[in-house]
Amino acid sequence: MSENESQNLSVKLFAKHKHATETSTLFGAVQQTQQSDYSAFDGDSESSWYRMRRRGQWTWQGVDPLEMEAIFARIAHSDNSRTVDSLLDTVEGYRSGNWNYEWTAVGMQHQKAAQALMDEGKSKQAGEQWLQACTYFGIAAYPHLKGDSLALQSETLAFKAFENAIAQLPFTVKTVETQLDGKSLKGYLYLPRTDATLPVVILSGSLDSLQTDLWRLFVDYFAPADIAVLTLDMPSVGHSCHWHLNEDTSRLHTAMLDKLVEVPWVDHHRVGTMGIRFGANPAVRMAFLEPHRVKASASLGGIVHALLTDASLMKKMPPMYLDTLGSRLGRRIPIDTLKTRLQAWSLKNQGLLTGRRTEVPILALSLKDDPVCPESDNQMIARYSRGGKAMTLPNTPLHDGYHRALTETVKWFEDVL
């Protein structure tokens, strides 16, 4: 894609969205909950911001901390009107101060730099800039709510940037597509090499992230271990946007597991599943429903029971998180109704973490004092898995916690697969 084509795509995508509906108004949790109910989940969850700002995660993904703080400052100091005066990141319309506008603008700068490097024949550096652009576009769309027109456009830019990136980088990424309910389901297969069939881990992140956010896990952790990774968006997000989330949280994973038999670079007899946050729900579920085809599983800070059934934990959910859950169900519903629906997603309520143990070894791991994934959930997962293991790691410093968690997880897959 040439620089002019990139600019034309950007102009075309956003031209009609000067008056786009502001993200926090789409599902209405801000109006239904008290601001004092905010609590820290996976980032800074402050009463003056609608979104949880995931400084640690985004820095780890490659966002420049100074660039990030400059974006936050432009949003906070904007004089443009907001839908909720007390929430800094609710500036209306695609203009300065709007969350999507500010993150997309910096993404465009990285996109322009990538194109210039490609013109100079510097493919590796160009690929890195494309990945930067992809990351910024992905954060612009965060938390990826249904009906958010600006987010949809940013996701389009993110996926386009990602596809430009993988054509330039020194590792191999293949697109894997299959059909489910007559619709196309797409994942990205990362391969350390293509001269042998490798073990593969099906990997999903949280409900408010894109699968393209996960590339660094492969580069820094799985590639050195010679393990392939197949990423998959959760239902109602990104390439999986055609399906709403329901209690059968692993149906997309099952479809991809079926498809792996046809993929020549991976050994479909050595398949693992791994999930982060809600992505761990289908990963663990697969260990019970597909014990003859899944050889190992890992849950990182998984949402499998407590958060879905404990009223006291639900009460602490920030509005953004409640909106995200409502969005994955596909419609705006009252919070009390949402809380009732969530109980059906509990793997214990489904009879999986309460009956016979699975033969699949599962690693259940989280950081200390995790409000989303209490130690009791990890212990329960390990208890109902033969060879299962529960671990709680120190949560400070945060970067070291992330690194150790991922190192332990990859070692788990090396040993078992």
Give the pTM: 0.91
Neighbours of 56 (CB within 10 A): 16
Q: How many CA atoms does the CB half-sphere of 156 hold within 13 Å?
A: 13
- At 204, the pLDDT band (50, 70, 90 cuts) reads very high
What DSSP string runs through 171-208?
SEEEEEEEEETTEEEEEEEEES-SSS-EEEEEEE--TT
Q: Which residues on neighbouring strands pair with residue 229, listed in sequence order? A: 190, 201
At 91, is the secondary structure helix, strand, or coil? Answer: strand
What's the average model confidence in pLDDT over 156-171? 92
- Tokens standing for 126? 């160009």
For the chain, how many residues are written? 417
- At 37, the pLDDT band (50, 70, 90 cuts) reads very low
| β pairing state of 183-191 and 389-393 | unpaired
CA dist 135 and 68 (Å) reads 12
At 378, is the secondary structure helix, strand, or coil? Answer: helix
Burial 271-304 (b: 16+ CB within 10 A, else e): bbbbbbbbbbbbbbbbbbbbeebbbbbbbbbbbb
Q: What is the pLDDT of residue 232?
A: 98
Q: What is the pLDDT of residue 95?
A: 94
Percent pLDDT > 70 in the chain is 91
- At 170, the pLDDT band (50, 70, 90 cuts) reads confident
- At 315, the pLDDT band (50, 70, 90 cuts) reads confident
Q: Are 92 and 80 in contact (CB under 8 A)?
A: yes
| β pairing state of 172-180 and 183-191 | antiparallel
What's the average model confidence in pLDDT over 208-225? 95
Q: Are 229 and 218 in contact (CB under 8 A)?
A: yes
Sheet holding 266-276, edge to edge: 172-180, 183-191, 228-232, 198-204, 266-276, 296-300, 362-367, 389-393
